[in-house]
Amino acid sequence: MQPKLSALTGPYQQKKFAAAFMQKAGDFLLLMKFRLNLTVVFSAVIGYWLAMGGNAGLPGLLMLVLGGFLITGAANAINQVLEKDYDKIMKRTQNRPVAAGRMSATEGLLIAGLCSVGGSVVLIYFFNSLTAFIGVLSMLLYAFVYTPLKRVGPIAVAVGAIPGALPPLIGWTAATGVLTYEAYLLFSIQFIWQFPHFWAIGWLGSDEYAKAGFKLHPSPEERNQHTAFKICIYQVFLLFLTMYPVMLGIFSYSFAAVALLLGSGFVYWGVQLFKHCNQQYALRLMIASIIYLPLLQIAMAIDILFR
């Protein structure tokens, strides 16, 4: 009877182990905010590609992706540990592993520590100390300045936009070892983009943010035309800002046409939010912002490649 029992329990234990492993792997990706992490790393890759003139080698790209992924993941993990009690309150964050209790705060911090050290080592060893410094600075600003400021006031978005705009600089310095005006232009574009992006997110989640004690803009009372008009102002400024590198000869007129088309489409959804001032158009604006930036960056990469 004993061999038969082992034969029955063996596959069951294997399936149980496989299910537990998949759950743990899924929680790791949630802790790292995998999809958000990919967009951040993509911006760093674009900065690297542009600085290399479209001649970036695969080994360098892979190491940049690894280092950037680890550093960004560490920032996201610390964020979730610090906000675990607030994440429990909001529906969209209740399933995060630390908030849901599937992962302890100690485990989350341990993963964050290993990722931050690993990412820093990769960036220093394969690139340079300036790249590692900017990466660590981005992590510290996001985790220990932006995160607590969310409970202080709307200034958090402006502060959070700084680490959010640093990835192109990480990519640029990884390729060149120096910060130039081209790098600062890439930073400026991504910095300004974040305001309409995060205000659209804030519009959608303002009720839950208020319930959790986050004092972000717009508050439930600020979902009005004044806020929508401010979003439009930033979008128009962003549109003109994307033309500036063309004037400096960094990008071609072909890129200008694409940037003008993308920027006009982005502004369109801001105007629609101004006209309707509801959740439906805030969602459309948020989706438009998510589509706009990577398409703009891809247009930059293609323009450099074929110039």
Quote the longest CA-to-CA distance of the chain.
82
Per-position b or e across 75-108, b if 16+ CB within 10 A of its CB = bbbbbbbbbbebbebbeebeebbbbeebbeeebb
Length of the chain: 307
Is pLDDT of 69 > 80?
A: yes
Lowest mean pLDDT among 80-94, 117-131, 187-201, 285-299: 80-94
- Residue type, position 113, single letter: G
The CATH number assigned to the domain with range 1-153+167-173 reads 1.10.357.140
- Structural contact between residues 56 and 175, judged by C-beta atoms closer than 8 angstroms: yes
Residue 3: what pLDDT? 53
* pLDDT one-digit tens code per residue, 136-189: 999 999 999 999 999 999 999 999 999 999 999 999 999 999 999 999 999 999
> For residue 10, what pLDDT band results from cuts at 50, 70 and 90?
low
- Structural contact between residues 87 and 96, judged by C-beta atoms closer than 8 angstroms: yes
User: Which tokens in the block code for residue 159?
Assistant: 């502060």
Question: Is 0.85 surpassed by the pTM of this model?
Answer: yes
Average pLDDT of the segment spanning 22-50: 91
Measuring CA to CA, how many Å separate 153 from each of 197, 216, 244, 286? Answer: 18, 6, 32, 21
Percentage of the chain lying above the pLDDT 70 cut: 95
Q: Which of 23-27, 91-95, 138-142, 214-218 reaches the highest mean pLDDT?
A: 138-142
Closest CA to 285 of 264, 270, 265: 270
Residue 25: what pLDDT? 86
CA 192 – CA 235 distance, rounded (Å): 8
Lowest mean pLDDT among 21-25, 27-31, 205-209: 21-25
Residue 16: what pLDDT? 73
Residue 88: what pLDDT? 93
**CA 138 from chain center: how many Å?**
11
Is pLDDT of 1 > 50?
A: no
Determine the 3-state secondary structure of 128 from DSSP: coil
Is pLDDT of 305 > 90?
A: no
* pLDDT one-digit tens code per residue, 219-229: 989 999 999 99
Average pLDDT of the segment spanning 86-112: 93
Is pLDDT of 300 > 60?
A: yes
